[in-house]
Amino acid sequence: MAKISDLVPNAETLISMSPEDVGIIILQHLLSQPRYGRPEKFKRGNFLVASATPAREYPAQFFDRVNETLAGGWAWLEREGALLPDPDNQDRDWMIISSRGRQMLDPEKLKAFKYAANFPVGKLHPAISPSTFSHFMKGEYDTAVFAAFREVEVAVRKAGGFSDSTLGTDLMRQAFKEQTGPLTDSGDVISEQQAIQHLFAGAIGTFKNPSSHRSGVVNTPDRAVSLVQFADLLLRIVDERVPTRTP
C-alpha cells in the first residue's frame, strides 16, 4: 500500500500543493490499498478522522496543516466528480472512485509526483516558489522554467528602475552594464562586471525567451528543477544588489 507519506515524504511539500495536486495523491493512495476481494469503497470519515488520518504519518507539528491540506484535496475530488457517493450504501459518507477519477491518473502526472520530493519548494525565493511548483506538479516543465525566469526579469526591471518596455536580454545588459548599470557592483573589476552582465543576459536569452515561443525546450523534471534553482540564484543576486545601487 502506498502511504501518503511514501508519495510525498516532506510535510511542507504536501502543504504547499494545490487541492487538485493533493487530490491526485489521495487517488493514488486509495487505489493502492489491498482490497481482499472487496469492491473499492472508501469512507470519508475513516480518511479524515484524527485517529486515522494520514496526517499522523508526518511530524506532529505539521498535523493540523497536513490534515487541512488532505481535507482540501478530498473536497476537490468530490467537487470534480472523481469521488462519488456509493449508490449501494445509504450512508453517504461511503464513496467510490468514478471513471473520471481513474482518468486523472495519467502517466505524465504520476511522473511529476515521483519527482515532487526533489523540488526545493520550501527553499526557493518567494517570488518563484508557488507558481513554479504548481506548474511542475502538472508536468508543465517548460512553463515552470518560463515562470521562474520571468520573475527574474520582473525583479531586475523593478530593482533597476526600468520601464515595462525594456525587455529580455536588452534589459539585462542595461541593468548590469559595466560601471554605469544600476545593478552593477562598482567594487568589482571590469571583467567581473561584464561576466555578471553576460550571466543574466545569457540566462534570459537561453531559458526564458525560448520557453515563451515554443514547447519542449525543457522536457524532464530533473532539468526543470536545475533551471528553477538557477533562477533562484539570480533572484538572490538581484536582492543583494538593490541596497547598493546608485539612486
User: In this structure, what are the phi and psi dihedrals at residue 37, rounded to the nearest 5 degrees?
Assistant: 80, -5
* Among candidate residues 162, 180, 158, the one with its CA nearest the CA of residue 242: 158
Please give the grid coordinates belonging to residue 71. Answer: 481535507
* pLDDT (tens digit per residue) in 200-228: 999 999 888 665 555 556 778 888 889 99
Q: What is the pLDDT of residue 39?
A: 54
Q: Over 60: is that where the pLDDT of 180 sits?
A: yes
Q: Which residues pair with 85 in a beta bridge?
A: 95
Q: Strands 94-97, 42-43: parallel, antiparallel or unpaired by DSSP?
A: antiparallel
Report the chain's mean pLDDT, rounded to a whole number: 84
* pLDDT (tens digit per residue) in 102-124: 877 766 666 666 666 667 777 88
Question: Can you state the angle between helices 141-160 and 129-137, rounded to 10 degrees?
Answer: 170
pLDDT-derived band at 49 (thresholds 50, 70, 90) equals: confident
Share of the chain above pLDDT 90, in %: 41
Distances (CA, A) of 218 to 12, 97, 158, 208, 223: 26, 33, 27, 11, 7
Q: Over 70: is that where the pLDDT of 199 sits?
A: yes
Mean pLDDT of 67-87: 92
Please give the grid coordinates belonging to residue 221. Answer: 523534471
Q: Give the other-Cβ count within 10 Å of 19's Cβ.
A: 17
Q: Is the model more confident about 246 or about 171? A: 171
Q: Over 90: is that where the pLDDT of 238 sits?
A: yes
DSSP string across 36-53: TT----EEHHHHHSTTT-
Secondary-structure breakdown of the chain: helix, strand, coil percentages, each rounded to the nearest 5: 65, 5, 35
pTM equals 0.63
